[in-house]
C-alpha cells in the first residue's frame, strides 16, 4: 500500500512538472515559434518518445533555434493552443534534415505520428481542429549536418498564399538560372570556347545546390535516385565549389596573372572533394565543417586574386570582382542570420540564392564583355597579322622577283649550255654516222672497185677476142663453102661421103648456131662491161675529191645497181638537160641510193603485188639549181614522226632492217653541198623527196 501511494505521488509530481514545463502559450500565426520550443539532444541516438525525460529538455532562447553541426538526434516539444476551429499547417522552413518526424500527444497518453501534408518546398504537417484545445507536438530531428528549426504555424489558406508567393519567387529564381544555362550553352555552341562550357557546369551545379538548400530538389530537380537525396546538399555544394573555382581561375586567368596564388586552387579542390567524400560515407557533420571552411577560404582566395588582377588592368577581373562581391555580401548576410545576429526571415533566407543569381547574371555580362574584348583583340591581332602578312608578302614578292631573275638568268644560261650540248651531240652523232658511213662506203668502194677491176680484165680478154674469133670463123666458113661448091661440081665418091656426113650433122644449123653463140658472147661481154663501168662510176675511188659530175649519169648508175630490186616496179624516168656540176659524185650517188631504197621498201610494205608500185624520177634545172624529185606510191610516213626522219638512228623499219642513218647521212651530204632536201609525205598515199643542189657551189 505504501509503495502504491508513493507511485501515485510520483505520477502526480511528474504530471505537475510536465504541465509546468509545457505551459500552454498562445502562438502567433505566420511567425517563427522557436522561443516556445523545448529542446533535448539525444547523445545516445536511441531514445524513444516514451523514454524522454522532460527535465532534460531546455527552453530555446531564439525564434529560430540553431543547434549547430551535430550528429545527435534532437527532440523538440511545443504546445499548440488552437483558439479557433479550422485546419492549421506546421511548416518547418528547412530541408536540411536526414529525417524529421512529428508526433501528437493524445489524451490517452498515446502518440500519433502526423503524416506529412505535402513535400513541396519544405516539410509541413496538417492539424485539423474541430474545437478550441491545446495540442502537444513532439518533433524528432535526425540531422544531416547542421540543424536549424525555423518553424511557423499557418492557417491553411494563409499557408497556400505564402507557398504560392514563394513558388513564384523560386520560379523566377530558377528560371533565371536555367535561362543563363541555356544562353551560355548556346554561346559555347557558337564560339566553341570552353570557358562558356565551364560556366554552364558552374551554374548547373549552383542550381542543384540552391534547389537542395531551398527544399525543391526532390520536387522539381530530382535527376538522381532517391537514395542520393540525403547527400544532395553537401555533394552539390562541393561540386559548385569545384566548378566555381575552376571557372573563376580560368576566367580571370590566375595561372597567368597570379601564378603563386593560383597554386592554392589545387588545395581548395582537394578540400571540396574531401567534403563530398565525407558526405558519401555518411559523415555529414564533417562534410559540413569542411565545406564551410573551404567555402570561406575559396571566397577570400578569389576575392584577393580578383583585386590583384583588376589592379593589373585585366578588364574581365573587374566584372568578376563586382559579381563576386555581391555574392559574398549575400553570403555574409546568410552567415549573420545563421549565427543569430540577423533574424531568420525571407530576406535573410534568400540572400544567397539572390546573390547567386545576381552573380551569375553579372558574370554572363562579363562573359559577353569578354566576347567584345576578344573580338577587339581578334581585330587587333588580325590587323597585326595582316600587316605582318603584307610585309611578308612584300618581302616574298621582292625575293620572288629576285629569285625569278636569278632563275631566268640561270635558265637562259642552262638553255644556252643545253643548246650547245645538243648541237655538239647532234654533230657528234652526225660525225659518227658519217664516219661509219664513210668507213662502210670506203670499204664498199674499195671492194667494188677491186671486184670491178678483177671482172674487167677477163671481160676485156673476152671482148677483145670476140672480133678475131668472128673473123677466124668467117675464114673457115669461106673455105668450107668452097669445098662444098667443089663437091657439087665434081662427082667424087669421097666427096659424096663427106657431103652425106655434113647433111647428117646438119652443118648449116651448126654454122647458124655458132653465129648466135658468138653474138650472145658479145652481148654478154658488153653488158658485163656496162655493169662494171656503172660500179666504177657509183663507187669512184676518188669520191672524197671534188670533181665535175653528171647528175643524170649518177642516177642511172644507181638504178643499174638497184635493177634487181626494182625489176617488178613501174619505173618512170624523166631526165632533164643538166650541166655538169662540181660535187662529190660518190656521196651524191649514196644519197640517191638511200632515197630510192626507202621508196622500194615503202612499196614492198604496201603492195603484195610489186607491179602495183610506182617510182618516178625527174630532174630539171631552175633558177641556178638542179632539182631531183623522187616520188613513190608507198605507204607514206606517219605525221607524228615526219619531223624526226632526219635524226640519227631514227627508223620506222623493223629491227634488223635499218640503222636509221640513211636519211641523216643524206641530209648531211646535201647540206655539205649547200643544198636542201625536202620531204612531202601523205600517209597511205606516198612520199616525194625533193633534192635541191646549187649549180655553183
| Cα-based distances in Å from 504 to 307, 453, 501 | 159, 46, 5
Between residues 303 and 94, the one the model is more confident about:
303
Cell output for 208:
542543384
| Cα-based distances in Å from 219 to 214, 223, 408, 623 | 11, 10, 83, 120
CA 244 vs. chain centroid, Å, equals: 39
Share of the chain above pLDDT 90, in %: 6
Please say whether the beta carbons of 484 and 499 come within 8 A.
yes
Question: How far is it, in rounded angstroms, from Cα 420 to Cα 490?
Answer: 100
Task: Look at 315-324, 464-473, 637-646 and tell me which has the smallest mean pLDDT.
Answer: 464-473
Confidence (pLDDT) at 538: 53
Question: How far is it, in rounded angstroms, from Cα 202 to Cα 665?
Answer: 94
Question: How far is it, in rounded angstroms, from Cα 397 to Cα 637?
Answer: 50
pLDDT surpassing 60 at residue 695: yes
Residues in the chain, how many? 697
Beta strands in 282-413 (DSSP E): none
Q: Model confidence over 497-506: pLDDT tens digits?
A: 776 776 776 7
Between residues 506 and 583, the one the model is more confident about:
583
Question: How far is it, in rounded angstroms, from Cα 169 to Cα 161?
Answer: 13
Confidence (pLDDT) at 658: 56
Q: Which residue has the cell 530555446?
A: 60
3-class DSSP string for 476-535? HHHHHHHHHHHHHHCCCHHHHHHHHHHHHHCHHHHHHHHHHHHHHHHHHHHHHHHHHHHH
Q: Which residue has the cell 540543424?
A: 147
Coil, helix or strand at residue 654: coil
Backbone angles phi, psi at 120, to 5 degrees: -70, 125
pLDDT surpassing 50 at residue 25: no
Report the 10 Å Cβ neighbour count for 685. Answer: 12
pLDDT surpassing 70 at residue 120: no
Burial of 497 (0-12, 13-18, 19+ CB in 10 A): exposed
Q: What is the mean pLDDT of residues 289-315?
A: 86
Q: In what order do the strands lie in the sheet with 97-105?
A: 58-59, 38-42, 73-82, 133-143, 97-105, 111-114
Binned at pLDDT 50, 70 and 90, residue 541 comes out as very low
Binned at pLDDT 50, 70 and 90, residue 527 comes out as low
Confidence (pLDDT) at 660: 60
Q: Residues 114, 118, 121, 125: what is their CA dihedral angle, to the nearest 10 degrees?
A: -30
Task: Look at 175-189, 502-516, 651-665 and tell me which has the smallest mean pLDDT.
Answer: 651-665
Task: Report the sign of the C-alpha dihedral through residues 587, 592, 595, 600, in that order.
Answer: negative
For residues 639-655, one letter each, b for 16 or more C-beta atoms within 10 angstroms of the residue's C-beta and e for the rest, the string is eeeeeebbbbeebbeee
Question: How far is it, in rounded angstroms, from Cα 145 to Cα 238?
Answer: 14
Cell output for 665:
647521212
Residue by residue, DSSP assigns 395-436 as HHHHHHHHHHHHHHHHHHHHHHHHHHHHHHHHHHHHHHHHHH
Q: Model confidence over 439-474: pLDDT tens digits?
A: 455 445 545 655 665 566 676 666 666 777 777 777
Task: Look at 15-19, 180-184, 354-358, 519-523 and tell me which has the smallest mean pLDDT.
Answer: 15-19
Q: What is the mean pLDDT of residues 15-34?
A: 56
Q: What is the mean pLDDT of residues 275-299?
A: 84
Backbone angles phi, psi at 86, to 5 degrees: 155, -170
pLDDT surpassing 60 at residue 542: no
Amino acid at each position: 500500500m505504501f509503495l502504491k501511494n508513493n507511485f501515485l505521488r510520483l505520477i502526480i509530481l511528474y504530471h505537475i512538472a510536465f504541465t509546468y514545463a509545457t505551459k500552454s502559450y498562445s502562438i502567433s500565426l505566420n511567425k517563427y515559434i522557436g522561443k516556445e520550443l523545448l529542446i533535448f539532444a539525444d547523445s545516445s541516438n536511441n531514445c524513444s518518445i516514451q523514454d524522454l525525460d522532460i527535465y532534460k529538455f531546455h527552453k530555446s532562447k531564439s525564434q529560430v533555434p540553431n543547434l549547430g553541426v551535430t550528429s545527435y538526434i534532437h527532440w523538440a516539444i511545443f504546445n499548440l493552443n488552437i483558439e479557433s476551429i479550422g485546419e492549421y499547417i506546421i511548416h518547418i522552413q528547412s530541408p536540411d534534415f536526414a529525417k524529421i518526424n512529428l508526433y501528437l500527444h493524445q489524451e490517452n497518453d498515446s502518440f500519433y505520428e502526423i503524416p506529412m501534408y505535402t513535400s513541396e518546398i519544405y516539410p509541413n504537417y496538417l492539424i485539423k481542429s474541430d474545437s478550441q484545445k491545446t495540442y502537444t507536438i513532439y518533433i524528432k530531428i535526425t540531422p544531416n549536418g547542421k540543424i536549424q528549426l525555423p518553424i511557423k504555424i499557418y492557417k491553411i489558406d494563409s499557408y497556400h498564399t505564402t507557398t504560392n508567393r514563394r513558388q513564384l519567387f523560386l520560379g523566377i529564381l530558377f528560371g533565371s538560372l536555367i535561362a543563363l544555362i541555356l544562353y551560355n550553352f548556346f554561346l559555347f555552341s557558337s564560339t566553341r570556347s570552353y570557358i562558356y562550357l565551364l560556366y554552364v557546369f558552374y551554374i548547373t551545379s549552383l542550381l542543384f545546390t540552391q534547389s537542395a538548400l531551398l527544399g525543391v530538389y526532390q520536387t522539381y530537380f530530382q535527376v538522381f535516385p532517391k537514395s542520393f537525396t540525403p547527400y544532395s546538399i553537401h555533394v552539390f555544394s562541393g561540386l559548385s565549389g569545384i566548378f566555381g573555382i575552376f571557372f573563376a581561375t580560368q576566367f580571370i586567368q590566375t595561372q597567368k596573372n597570379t601564378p603563386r596564388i593560383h597554386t592554392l586552387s589545387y588545395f581548395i579542390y582537394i578540400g571540396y572533394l574531401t567534403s563530398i567524400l565525407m558526405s558519401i560515407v555518411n559523415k555529414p557533420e564533417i562534410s559540413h565543417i569542411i565545406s564551410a571552411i573551404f567555402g570561406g577560404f575559396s571566397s577570400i582566395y578569389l576575392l584577393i586574386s580578383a583585386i590583384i588582377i583588376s589592379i593589373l588592368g585585366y578588364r574581365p577581373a573587374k566584372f568578376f570582382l563586382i559579381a563576386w562581391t555581391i555574392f559574398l555580401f549575400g553570403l555574409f548576410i546568410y552567415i549573420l542570420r545563421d549565427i543569430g545576429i540577423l533574424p531568420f526571415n525571407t530576406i535573410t533566407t534568400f540572400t544567397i540564392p539572390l546573390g547567386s543569381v545576381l552573380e551569375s547574371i553579372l558574370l554572363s555580362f562579363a562573359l559577353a564583355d569578354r566576347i567584345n574584348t576578344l573580338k577587339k583583340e581578334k581585330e587587333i591581332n588580325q590587323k597585326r597579322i595582316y600587316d605582318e602578312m603584307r610585309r611578308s608578302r612584300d618581302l616574298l614578292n621582292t625575293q620572288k622577283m629576285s629569285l625569278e631573275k636569278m632563275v631566268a638568268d640561270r635558265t637562259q644560261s642552262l638553255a644556252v649550255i643545253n643548246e650547245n650540248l645538243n648541237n655538239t651531240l647532234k654533230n657528234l652523232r652526225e660525225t659518227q654516222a658519217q664516219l661509219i658511213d664513210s668507213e662502210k662506203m670506203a670499204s664498199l668502194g674499195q671492194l667494188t672497185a677491186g671486184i670491178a677491176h678483177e671482172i674487167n680484165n677477163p671481160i676485156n680478154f673476152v671482148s677483145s677476142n670476140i672480133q678475131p674469133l668472128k673473123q677466124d670463123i668467117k675464114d673457115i666458113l669461106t673455105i668450107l663453102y668452097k669445098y662444098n661448091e667443089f663437091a657439087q661440081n665434081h662427082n667424087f665418091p669421097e666427096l659424096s661421103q663427106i657431103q652425106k656426113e655434113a647433111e647428117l650433122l646438119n652443118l648449116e644449123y651448126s654454122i647458124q648456131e655458132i653465129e648466135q653463140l658468138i653474138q650472145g658472147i658479145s652481148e654478154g661481154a658488153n653488158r658485163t662491161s656496162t655493169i662494171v663501168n656503172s660500179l666504177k662510176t657509183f663507187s669512184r675511188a676518188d669520191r672524197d675529191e671534188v670533181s665535175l659530175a653528171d647528175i643524170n649519169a649518177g642516177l642511172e648508175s644507181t638504178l643499174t645497181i638497184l635493177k634487181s630490186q626494182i625489176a617488178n616496179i613501174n619505173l618512170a624516168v624523166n631526165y632533164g638537160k643538166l650541166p655538169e656540176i662540181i660535187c662529190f659524185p660518190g656521196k651524191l650517188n649514196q644519197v640517191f641510193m638511200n632515197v630510192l631504197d626507202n621508196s622500194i621498201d615503202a612499196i614492198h610494205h604496201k603492195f603484195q603485188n610489186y607491179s602495183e608500185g610506182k617510182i618516178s624520177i625527174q630532174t630539171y634545172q631552175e633558177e641556178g639549181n638542179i632539182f631531183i624529185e623522187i616520188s613513190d606510191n608507198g605507204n607514206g610516213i606517219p605525221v607524228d614522226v615526219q619531223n624526226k626522219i632526219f635524226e640519227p638512228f631514227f627508223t620506222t623499219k623493223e629491227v634488223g632492217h635499218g640503222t636509221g642513218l640513211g636519211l641523216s647521212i643524206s641530209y648531211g651530204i646535201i647540206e655539205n653541198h649547200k643544198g636542201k632536201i625536202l620531204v612531202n609525205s601523205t600517209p597511205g598515199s606516198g612520199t616525194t623527196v625533193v633534192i635541191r643542189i646549187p649549180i655553183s657551189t
